[in-house]
A and B are shown apart, each in its own frame.
Chain A
Amino acid sequence: MQKPAPPSSREGAKRVASLVPASASFGVAYGVLAVTAGMGVLAPILMSATTFAGSAQFAAASVIRDGGSVLAAVGAAVLLNGRYLAISVAIAPHFEGSRLRRFFESQLIVDESWAVSQVGGGRIDRRMLIGAGLLLFPCWVGGTALGVFGGDALGDPKRFGLDAAFPALFLALLITLTVSRRGVLAAVAGGLIALVLLPIAPAGLPVIAASTVCLAGLRRR
């Protein structure tokens, strides 16, 4: 589906360009939800800039809105973001330069930038990840600011089907990337585990449980 292009940050940005409307409008939706939850103006924007992970932020804001405890809000968000620990360790060897530079570059890791920078065999191209992250970051943070200040003039992004953009991207990448028989088996197992746990486990856990499938790939000594 994708022509093999020379990996670059521009190529990474190009690959997530189709997600710009979805990312920005869900940023707006998060800003609106955060204001209704009573989070104020500065906190939601700061959260988008530091946490930079949609699902965890939506979960935390919902708990705050419903009057839940700090522990409940943080617990839900940490569970949802636990997958980033696995991703971060798995792609660690591809980062280079000073410690400070690696720190800042690592903050551009989100599902979408990680997914589009895959070059096969579990390896990623760091420049593509950075290009994709650098495009999505201002969309998400800017969208949040718009939502916080401008309210919900855009309406529900779901009306425009934008919530279907994310599974479509992940599926497209899954289909193009998964070539080996082991990969297909891992995808089927991961998908089934998520599907079974979805109705019974707290949000975030199905994805973490599914990613443990990869441990089956540990090579024997």
Chain B
Amino acid sequence: MSTTWLVVLLVGAFTVAFKAAGPVLLSGRELPLRATGAFELLAPSLLAALVVTQAVGGKEAIVLDGRLVGVGTAIVAIRLRAPLIMAIVAAALATALVRAL
């Protein structure tokens, strides 16, 4: 089998299994009370990490570019109570503008 197909099959199998693990094996059961406190903190810690890696992430390096201007614009839009869609469109527009200059 070619490298490509091996990679497609293996990565696909792992990812499908990761996503299915909880809902298929654990659903309908109450999670232990001890764990609920941890799951409360998963969203903020994971979201913050995604913001960092997607805003300044590069090839195993920190890359500062137009994305930062976009994210800054989104913060301003959110502070001005703009709807989510406006904040995201503003972020893309600002980034595109910086890159066009």
Q: Which residues of A contact B (CB under 8 A)?
A: 1-2, 15, 17-19, 22, 38-40, 43, 46-47, 50-53, 56-57, 60, 63-64, 69-70, 73-74, 77-78, 81-96, 99, 102-103, 105-107, 109, 111, 115, 118, 121-122, 158-178, 180, 182-184, 186-191, 193-195, 198-203, 206-207, 210-211, 213-221
Contacts and interface: CB of A to CB of B under 8 A. Distances in A.
Contacts of A203: 57, 60
Given A166-B50, A168-B71, 20 more contacts: A1-B87, A52-B15, A53-B15, A70-B6, A81-B15, A85-B18, A106-B22, A163-B67, A164-B91, A164-B94, A167-B51, A170-B51, A187-B48, A188-B48, A194-B48, A207-B46, A211-B49, A214-B45, A217-B40, A218-B38
Contacts, number: 332
B47 interface: yes
Contact of A199 (B55, B62, B98): B62
Contacts of A63: 7
Contacts of B85: 17-18
By secondary structure, the B interface counts as helix
Interface of B: 3-8, 10-12, 14-16, 18-31, 33-57, 60-62, 66-67, 69-71, 73-75, 78, 81-85, 87-100
Contacts of B96: 159-161
B94 to A, nearest CB: 7
A91 B42 CA distance: 10
Given A47-B12, A93-B29, A84 B4 contact: no
Contact of B20 (A43, A106, A173, A186): A106
B16 to A, nearest CB: 6
Given A191-B51, A214-B39, A184 B23 contact: no
A85 B42 CA distance: 12
Contact of B43 (A94, A122, A168): A122
A43 to B, nearest CB: 5
Given A93-B31, A122-B39, A216-B41, A161 B99 contact: yes
B54 to A, nearest CB: 4
Contacts of B98: 161
Contacts of B6: 70, 74
A122 B36 contact: yes
Contacts of A180: 40
Contacts of A92: 22-23, 25-27, 29, 31
A106 B61 contact: no
B100 to A, nearest CB: 8
| Listed residue (B20, B22, B34) with the most chain A CB atoms within 10 angstroms of its CB | B22
Contacts of A89: 21-22, 26
